[in-house]
Structure 1
Amino acid sequence: MKIVVLHGQMHKGSTYNITKLFLDKFSDKNPEITEFFMPKHTPGFCVGCFNCFTKGEDACPHADKVQPVVKIMEEADLIILESPCYVFGMSGQLKTFLDHMGYRWMPHRPHEKMFSKIGLVISTAAGAGAKKVTKDLKNNLFYWGVPKTYCYANNVGASSWETVKPEKKRQIESEVTKLVEKISREVCNVRPGIKTKAMFRIMKLSQKSNDWNATDKEYWIKKGWLNGKKPW
């Protein structure tokens, strides 16, 4: 099993430690794990040049930072996105990377390998907001074509992992163990559901009438998706 993790921060707080707990629980599957930390591996802010849409992803001024991460994600079986909750949202560092993935959304040029992956999104907050973050991260994975994403949000009631109460940590470990078991049963066996298939069909109709972006339309034609072929 191949796992790629996009950490939305550099510090090793509650979100990082829970993500590490997930990875440790997957250890009996002998996973190949690749981790990226934001902002160390983050590209510069998206400048809205539209090059990725109209000229191709390699024309992005930050392609040298973006594409190595994308290639790893394409080969992974499980994609993990994690971020602490900052003012009811994900970290700006992670959002910066996700902005560069707009060209991979289903309305543009989704990659066929995304339709066979599982996603896991993780967030913590000292108070409220972790569920809002996981919802936003899950939406990104859905529009990439990822058919199944699990969410783990926890309002830990502490500003650091060291000060999380022991009983809370035991509860977290139990929840993580159960979720890992569920993901392990499904990884490499997932198929798109009704929602993903419906969105793809809508985007197919959109591409058939697309007269503003030749790069996107040519991509769909080359894949055979406008002639009935499916990416799954």
Structure 2
Amino acid sequence: MNVTIIHGQNHQESSYHAGRFLVNQFNDVEELHEFFLPDDLPVFCIGCYRCMHEGEEYCPHYQYLKPITQAIESSDLLIFTTPVYCFHVSAPMKTLLDHYFTWWDSHRPKATMYNKQAVIISSGAGAGMKSAIQDIKTSLSHWGISNIKICGFRSQAIHWSDVNQKNKHNVQQKLIKIANSLKQPPHPQIKTKAMFMIMRVTQLKKWSACQKDYDYWQEQGWLGKKRPWKSYE
């Protein structure tokens, strides 16, 4: 199994340690790709739409995105960790999600996403984990990932070393359960398939955002009988 873990911060505190604990629950990890934001993506999406109209490789930040993209596409399990920032994800994590908006099912989703699993981990001193998790989950769902597990927890401390043992034990037990649930092969859920079919109709009616979106769906064969999940069922 190949795993990519993306941290929404450079410092290695609560959400980082929770993410690494989860990875350690698997004994079949062949490749582990790990990224820290903003170090590995130090630029904001500027809304130039070059990725939309010309292609992903024309993004002015492609040199940063290329290794992250390759890791995501080659991984079976994706793990996203973020501390709570004002009841939302960290700004660097939001920046990452913004850069991948063309992966949404309304544009040019990747067929491989329908066979991936993901875990979103968020820690906060008090509250906001639910809304921070939702920020990431919204994007992953529209990427085509059905099996998304979540783990939000209160650290009640700034540093992982200051988190009391009871809180650490509770989150570790949650993560062990999540790890065990991920050992079964993923299957796209009805909701994911339904959203794909809705977006397929928009492409057939040529309501797509640009010609490149329509051409992509046609090239994939999705305007016909092919579906991105069929090869995995």
TM-score by length of 2: 0.94
Give the RMSD, CA atoms, in angstroms: 1.2
Preserved contact between residue 97 and residue 136 of structure 2 (Cα < 8 Å): no
Deviation sequence 1:106-129 (CA, Å, 0-9, x none) = 000001000000010000000101
Match of 2:17 in 1: 17
Deviation sequence 1:95-150 (CA, Å, 0-9, x none) = 11110100111000001000000010000000101111112211111011111100
Aligned to 2:24, the other structure's residue is in SS state helix
Match of 1:167 in 2: 166
Q: In structure 2, what is the Cα distance between the partners aligned to 1:81 and 1:174? A: 18
Preserved contact between residue 118 and residue 148 of structure 1 (Cα < 8 Å): yes
1:43, distance to aligned residue in structure 2 (A): 4.7
Match of 1:71 in 2: 70
Alignment gaps of 5+ in structure 2: none
Aligned to 2:92, the other structure's residue is in SS state helix
Q: In structure 2, what is the Cα distance between the partners aligned to 1:42 and 1:156? A: 26
Q: In structure 1, what is the Cα distance between the partners aligned to 2:113 and 2:19? A: 21
Deviates more, 1:141-150 or 1:173-182: 173-182
User: Which amino acid in structure 2 is aligned with residue 207 of structure 1?
Assistant: Q
Preserved contact between residue 154 and residue 167 of structure 2 (Cα < 8 Å): no
Q: Please, which of 202, 205, 220 is the counterpart of residue 198 of structure 2?
A: 202
Runs of 4+ in structure 1 over 3 Å off: none
Is it true that 1:219 corresponds to 2:219 in the alignment?
Answer: no
1:112-191 equivalences under 5 Å are 112-183=111-182, 185-186=183-184, 189-191=185-187
- Count of residue pairs brought into register by the alignment: 228
Preserved contact between residue 43 and residue 97 of structure 1 (Cα < 8 Å): no
1:65, distance to aligned residue in structure 2 (A): 1.1
Aligned to 1:4, the other structure's residue is in SS state strand
Match of 2:54 in 1: 55
- Structure with the largest fraction of helix: 1
Aligned to 1:83, the other structure's residue is in SS state strand
Preserved contact between residue 131 and residue 154 of structure 1 (Cα < 8 Å): no
- The percent identity for this pair of structures is 36
